[in-house]
Amino acid sequence: MKKVAFYTLGCRVNQYETESIKKQFAERGYEVVPFDSFADVYVVNTCTVTSIADKKNRNMLRRPKKINSNSIVVATGCYAQTNHRDLAKMSDVDLIVGQKQKGSIANLVEDFSLYEGKRKSFVGNVFKYENYSEIDFAGLRDLDKAFLKIQDGCDRFCSFCKIPFARGQKRSRNLHSILQECKMLVEEGFKEIVLIGIHLGAYGEDLEESCSLDDVVEKLLEIEGLERLRISSIYPDTVTDRFVELMQHPKLMPHLHVSIQSADDNVLKLMNRRYDSSLMYEVFNKLKSKVRDVAFTGDIIVGFPGEDENAFINTFNFVKEFNFSDLHIFPYSDRERTVAKSLPNKVDNIVKYERFKRLNLLRKSSQNSFMKRFLGKKMKILIESERKDSAKGYTENFLRAAVDTKAKSGSIIEFVPEYIVNGIFYGREL
């Protein structure tokens, strides 16, 4: 039996798509093995959201030949789409496969012998992908919950972002297909479904029929047997009043990961974001006042070109006011093909990382402050991993918890958090 190994960098969408590629190989009789094991084929699903990700892509692609010099090494994903010419210079890479061709990777590998050992690149023009590409329902499962991809691409062209060049224009999945896969996952026993996409809030904008993310959420909430629905990430300007109302539904988890990036109007304008700080305050205040126990997490870039101390303080104060339970903080780095790379007033690296440290300290104190509100109160947790007499998982509002219990993974139990250590609740099952 031939063996294939996978390594996935980046977002849940990439991870979801890796599962569909695994299915391609499994149907051809391949055994999936760990990436550091001896394999006939190695597939690296790449990311290009930061310069650090680019470096890690190249490092991971160099590893397989050291384990098996005769293996076939495949680079696919976002970095393979945007930087295929750079990858073509790497002797460690045999096949470079773009986004559109992901559904044919196993076939391309099987045909590799026809190329007489020559490296080949299969990368098309990502902006010619007009419709959502349906893939087999391989899904992405974490034993306890499943991820459901409903959208791909983004055409906002934020000045710092390469993703439109990696993913192409926005494309929405057919609603019937979404509902069909969700029902299948519920029948398989998954209690929580997480909606994922590159720009979820843009769902339906490209469809002929009138349909939005709000419509998708409303239909999914009607599915019998679904216990928890979660939104992976959303832009603040796509949060409608109807969405805020839907967030009050007991099945829709009271947690939002919001891509805010900055809370300073000048920086937001330089970033080519389509909202300002006043809209952000309006949206967050609505959610905070109407959704019980809602938790906010988010993405923030520090040290963007033109960000002075006052601009940074505006972002700092926004995070402080809304008591974020966690943050993903990224020091700005230039990305090729982006407008921001040529912007003036670059922030000195020392200043950039000093701001990163200050915001990270606020992240920790804000998280601790938010979590303290729930000490001694009854909460629910979906168990994701278990040991002999304890288990770990996430609460409805996406707070990590470790609980004394004998319940199994995939179970939803009630517990009381008694204390907090390093951002994790510790408590006992009721």
Quote the CA–CA distance of 428 and 426 in Å, as a whole number. 7
Give the model's pLDDT for residue 132. Answer: 77
- At 202, give phi and psi (nearest 5°): -90, 0
Q: What is the pLDDT of residues 171-208, one digit of tens each?
A: 999 999 999 999 999 998 899 999 999 999 999 999 98
Provide the mean pLDDT of the chain: 93
276 by Cβ neighbours in 10 Å (0-12 / 13-18 / 19+) ranks as middle
- At 248, give phi and psi (nearest 5°): -85, -5
Q: What is the pLDDT of residues 397-414, one digit of tens each?
A: 999 999 999 998 889 999
> Considering the chain, what percentage of its residues have pLDDT values greater than 70?
97
**What average pLDDT does range 370-388 have in this prediction?**
94
Give the model's pLDDT for residue 42. Answer: 98
pTM of this structure: 0.92
> Considering the chain, what percentage of its residues have pLDDT values greater than 90?
83
Quote the CA–CA distance of 170 and 204 in Å, as a whole number. 9
Give the model's pLDDT for residue 142. Answer: 55
Quote the CA–CA distance of 58 and 76 in Å, as a whole number. 12
Say whether pLDDT at 140 is over 60: no
**Six-digit token pair at 249?**
């539904």
Q: Which residue intervals of 225-348 are DSSP H helices? A: 241-246, 265-270, 277-290, 309-321
Quote the CA–CA distance of 388 and 410 in Å, as a whole number. 15
Confidence label for 131 from pLDDT (cuts 50, 70 and 90): confident
Q: What is the pLDDT of residues 216-225, one digit of tens each?
A: 999 999 999 9
Confidence label for 138 from pLDDT (cuts 50, 70 and 90): low
Quote the CA–CA distance of 159 and 156 in Å, as a whole number. 9
Q: What is the pLDDT of residues 27-58, one digit of tens each?
A: 999 999 999 999 999 999 999 998 899 999 99
Find residue 3's DSSP bridge partners.
31
Which domains does the chain possess?
3-124 (3.40.50.12160), 140-371 (3.80.30.20), 379-429 (2.40.50.140)
User: Among 321, 301, 316, 427, which residue's Cα sits nearest to residue 375?
Assistant: 427
